Chain A
Amino acid sequence: MAPALVIAAHGSHLNAESSTPTYTHADTIRATGAFAEVRESFWKEEPSFREALRTVDADEVYLVPLFISEGYFTEQVIPREFRLEDWEPDLWDSDGTSATHATLTAEDTGQTVHYCGPAGTHDAMSDVIVQRAESVTGDPGVGEGFGLAVVGHGTERNENSAKAIEYHAGRIRERGRFDEVQALFMDEDPEVDNVTEYFGSDDIVVVPLFVADGFHTQEDIPEDMGLTDDYRLGYDVPTTVDGHDIWYAGAVGTEPLMADVVLERAADAGADVAAAIEQVRERTSGANPAAGD
């Protein structure tokens, strides 16, 4: 029997749109026919992490966390809730951004689960960030004369959270496409509040490394950066702040190309999805964002 793909995402008790990108990317992957089944599962919605595997027919499952960084959710919550026998973070042998996969057995269903590293730390995520910059500026060649800010939550509790942001900022910086690239944070230095202080460029694209648009990406960050005094009043793209044009992109996870990253994770774990990857890359390059925000 062909294997299944299960995507594990956070979801929300309060925000109806939190799960939208997960469903959209799952639909994109479903349309490729690469997996016998594609199942969404959530920490805060249904099907829950605890029950997702039993709704899947296949004996072999690729489990991809739609999370930004390695840490509490990928190392503790997901393996525990999916009942992945004998899991320990060492199986990923990761420095915080280098997890690939580990193959385990689900205790309650007996299924073989290829537990993949989170979508957010995959190398292909750098491409999604760049594509997000293209989407928000409407310019497929955006780069020259532009600064790029990759924004993360940042937290003292999980150093990997910042690592993922810095990792992609570093990779994109090395490509030399943008005049400047900075990793900025909400809760630690360097802070996104002072975004214009970190750039000499007149134009700055700001891409938050979040899976879904919600409180942080729609309310906190636009207000912190001075795009608006009250998020409910909205803001322009771009908005001029301190003489710089800020092109605010919203959550990177709503970019259609994100479906490719999920597939790349499964491919790295051994799934036969090369054709699907090609199809998804073709279909999602330059497409519109996945969530109506």
Chain B
Amino acid sequence: MHGDHVDALVTTAPDGIAFDDLAVEREGDRYAFETPEEAHGSLSEEDLRAVAADSAYVRNWYFWHADAPQKADRWAFLRWLEDAEETPLETRLEGLADGIVSEWGQLQVTATVGDGGERRYHVRHVDDTRKAADALTGHEDPRAARDIAKHDDRGRYRPLKSAPTLRTGWRFGGLAATELVETVETFYPAAVTNWHREREGELDVTHWHETVERQTGIYGVVKTWDRGEGYEHVNWVAEACCADSQCLKRREWQYDDETPLDVDGGDGTFPCREPCSVVVAAARQWTKLESEDEQTYEFELTPSEKEQLEGIVDAVADGRAADIREADIYEGANRYRARFLRAKRFDEDGNLSGVPTDRDDE
């Protein structure tokens, strides 16, 4: 590997190089070489080799053109990690010496640089930022991310990779550029490519209406719920599924091209370009439930009991139910409070206040 950057420079120099504050130009059969630190003219190939051998600028050029993945989106992502388009190389190299830190979803990525100009990357959970490295389980193979991403800290399966429930307690150290990208893409599939498309103004968003229109099989039923201008239900779907508390992608899809939804799409770093399979599956269930007619029920409840029911729905909807302390009977969704309510207000068939669900049963 040693000296590869010099050979590569000499091979490329005849075409001219202008990259990250490095400029090499051909002048007849000689070369001009310029960086913010040094400028040489009329160099023979041998001179050029001598100048290039110790140049951090040449090593940097070599990294970006030989080591880093060349696919435009992956390359742009790596450049973004060190703010390469805005920051002079000299400043970046100083930053990389200590590590330049970025966040990508729930990943904290730290970029560093080795003696040869090659980057090394370190990844851990954003919540593990302050933990000592040896307090975290170390990994080197990007495919280990598959197992980490599969279950949350409570051991529950995560069907949605962009849910903000990534498990903690692990780290990847010293990843090469290609390994870093593979790791990141395993945690958040397709996020890099869609983020890049968005930056280039080429993100292909498929809106709700279009997505629903192409559904078939058991999902075809969702079409019956799609009421043209009456898109209030789609707002409810987005509010239920696509908030930052549920998914780290920033929702870019709307009802259709001309009809934005009322609810906010979130603040995620990377965009969501169409309703995902979780949203479509949930919408299918809501379509079936929403076909029911409303009925009027009468319940006898104390004001506190009504508030308790509201508290239970809130706690479940926000995922707080399991966090409510065992003896915190001040919380409506506390288990003892809920059991008391059930004991007092449910009949033997589980009907609230003894009111049957089906009115014909009365």
Contact = CB atoms under 8 A, between A and B. Distances in A.
Interface string A2-46: 000000000011111000000100010000000000000001111
Interface string B184-217: 0100011001100100000010100000001011
Contacts of B214: 80
B190 A13 contact: no
A27 B276 contact: no
B194 A13 contact: no
Interface in B314-331: none
Interface size class of B (residues with CB under 8 A): 20 to 34
Interface in A75-109: 76-77, 80, 108
Contacts of B71: 57
A48 interface: yes
Most buried by B among A46, A57, A77, A80: A46
Nearest to A72: B217
Contact of A45 (B143, B159, B193): B159
A44 B162 CA distance: 14
A23 B146 contact: yes
Given A45-B159, A51-B194, A72-B217, A13 B278 contact: yes
A55 B157 contact: no
B223 interface: no
B189 A14 contact: no
A142 B151 CA distance: 39
B190 A16 contact: no
Nearest to B218: A72
A16 B150 CA distance: 7
* Prevailing SS type, chain B contact patch: loop
A54 B190 contact: yes
Interface residues of A, number: 24
Given A16-B151, A76-B216, A77-B216, A44 B277 contact: yes
Contacts of B144: none
B68 to A, nearest CB: 13
Interface in B52-89: 69, 71
B267 to A, nearest CB: 20
B339 to A, nearest CB: 26
B204 A55 contact: no
A14 to B, nearest CB: 7
A226 interface: no
Contact of B189 (A47, A72, A76, A80): A47
Contact of B157 (A15, A46, A47, A54): A15
B25 interface: no
Contacts of A281: none
Contacts of A52: 190
Interface of A: 12-16, 23, 27, 43-48, 50-52, 54-55, 57, 72, 76-77, 80, 108
Top 4 closest A-B pairs, CB basis? A47-B189, A51-B190, A16-B157, A46-B189
